[in-house]
């Protein structure tokens, strides 16, 4: 019984250290950008208007650029 409890305890994911305020802010910003990117991609897939598609493609490029900057090494 004790061996099973020890094994179960080992399989549980280790608790992550708490995030600093800066890390938490960065993580929230990344998630917001990913959600915005997903929304733009969905709109691109369903939109046939070439002018609107161009705007969406520009927005997508800007979101990708922001994500690259945020996901880079911490400053």
Q: How many domains does the chain have?
A: 1
Inside any domain, residue 13: no
Structure tokens at 55: 């705007």
Inside any domain, residue 41: yes
Q: Strand, coil or helix: what is 14?
A: coil
Inside any domain, residue 2: no
Give the pTM.
0.68
Inside any domain, residue 20: no
Give the range of the structural domain holding residue 39, as residue numbers without chain letter.
33-75
Inside any domain, residue 51: yes
Inside any domain, residue 3: no
Mean pLDDT, 10 residues at a time, over the chain (75 residues)? 70 76 92 97 93 96 95 67
pLDDT at 30: 95
DSSP state of 13: P
Inside any domain, residue 40: yes
């Amino acid at each position: 019984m004790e061996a099973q409890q020890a094994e179960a305890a080992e399989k549980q994911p280790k608790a992550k250290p708490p995030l600093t305020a800066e890390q938490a802010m960065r993580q929230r910003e990344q998630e917001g950008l990913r959600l915005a990117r997903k929304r733009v991609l969905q709109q691109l897939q369903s939109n046939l208007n070439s002018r609107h598609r161009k705007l969406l493609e520009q927005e997508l490029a800007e979101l990708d650029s922001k994500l690259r900057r945020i996901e880079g090494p911490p400053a």
